[in-house]
């Protein structure tokens, strides 16, 4: 038998593939960081319903994961990222981002503090050369552990109940905190984090224990309504939550071919995370000049749109005539019963007055142009109290 050549199967399988593949009735797969992951198992609308009403499992193993260790790990991360890593307690997580020297965002992600000198940085894109270059002069070691960590997102109002039934007591676990539990011969780390804007957790273990974890959760969770979910449903949920996605809502600075395509954290609404007083960090000088000179070119806004036709990819106009921005993510929200959008708007139109969106609605093979007024609204669009309640409610 001739062995399979690498180019005949360019996408790798995650540690959960032996379970997700038989469940993927549509054989609907997507590519994520070199791995194949289910886009939809059978019905994305029902999978989204699971996120908002019961509990769902989503394979997040392809997420890029870097381990950063050493006596100067916190100092290094303070130089690399926007937030103050030194203030992050052991056993906690925070959302952060990092920029190039020009103050343009390269990526965002979550930073886990596993020990006093031990961190894990999770993100969408690969950055090892940048991380290594940025580590010059710091006593740290940096390694890519993406292949060595299997991850599941357990999201939805019943997620804490599922964990309790499986023997994992997370009742005292606050948002953005983590705890470790025994699993088979190893262990699983559970963080109260997620990408759906709902009550939820992320579970991290070794590839060897991946199937044990999946089977254990499904055995105890299926009677409570636990179902697997694919990327399509998760992306709908993240839009409802108003979360950003790399290469969908912004182009990483290191990948942009056109200078005007990059964005600063101030232009992406991430200025709140910048720890201006922590000392030097990459991009600080450029960001201070932007802040003090009020030179931001763009503003990221949330929008309400009349009707129920998604405005994704649409152009925004001021006074119906002058181009003023564009929509990067949009949907008719089944949860909110609202037509919502995330959009980039030129800074001078950031108040969104007299702003209109041009939507081409496909109706029986013909496109109809709709010019609709938009209303600026706060993000997140969906933010239920249950996502932060501690102990979590029993659903």
In sequence order, the β-bridge partners of residue 373 are 356
202 labelled binding-site residue: yes
Query: Binding site, residues?
Result: 202
Query: Binding site for substrate, residues?
Result: 202
């Amino acid at each position: 038998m001739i062995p399979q050549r690498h180019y005949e199967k360019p996408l790798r399988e995650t540690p959960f593939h032996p379970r997700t593949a038989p469940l993927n009735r549509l054989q609907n797969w997507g590519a994520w960081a070199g791995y194949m992951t289910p886009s939809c198992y059978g019905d994305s609308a029902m999978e989204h319903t699971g996120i908002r009403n019961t509990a769902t499992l989503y394979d997040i193993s392809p997420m890029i994961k870097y381990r950063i260790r050493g006596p100067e790990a916190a100092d290094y991360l303070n130089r690399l990222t926007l937030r103050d890593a030194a203030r992050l307690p052991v056993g906690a997580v925070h959302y952060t981002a990092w920029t190039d020297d020009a103050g343009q965002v390269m990526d965002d992600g979550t930073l886990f503090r596993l020990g006093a000198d031990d961190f894990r940085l999770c993100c969408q894109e690969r950055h090892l050369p940048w991380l290594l270059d940025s580590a010059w002069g710091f006593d740290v070691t940096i390694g890519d552990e993406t292949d060595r960590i299997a991850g599941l997102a357990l999201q939805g109002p019943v997620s804490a109940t599922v964990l309790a039934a499986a023997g994992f007591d997370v009742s005292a676990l606050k948002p953005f905190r983590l705890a470790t539990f025994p699993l088979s011969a190893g262990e699983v780390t559970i963080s109260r984090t997620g990408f759906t804007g709902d009550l939820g957790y992320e579970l991290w273990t070794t590839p060897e224990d991946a199937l044990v974890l999946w089977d254990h959760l499904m055995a105890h969770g299926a009677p409570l309504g636990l179902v697997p979910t694919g990327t399509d449903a998760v992306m709908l949920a993240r839009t409802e939550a108003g979360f950003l996605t790399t290469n969908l809502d912004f182009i990483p600075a290191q990948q942009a071919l056109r200078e005007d395509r990059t964005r600063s954290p101030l232009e992406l609404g991430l200025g709140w995370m910048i720890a201006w007083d922590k000392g030097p960090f990459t991009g600080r000088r450029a960001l201070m000049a932007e802040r003090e000179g009020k030179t931001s070119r763009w503003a990221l806004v949330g929008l309400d749109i009349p009707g129920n036709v998604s405005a994704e990819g649409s152009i925004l106009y001021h006074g119906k005539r002058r181009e003023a921005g564009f929509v990067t993510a949009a949907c008719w929200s089944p949860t909110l019963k609202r037509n919502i959008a995330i959009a980039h708007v030129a800074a001078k139109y950031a108040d969104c007055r007299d702003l209109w969106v041009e939507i081409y609605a496909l109706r029986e093979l013909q496109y109809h142009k709709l010019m609709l007024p938009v209303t600026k609204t706060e993000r997140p669009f969906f933010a239920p109290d249950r996502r932060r309640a501690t102990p979590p409610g029993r659903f």
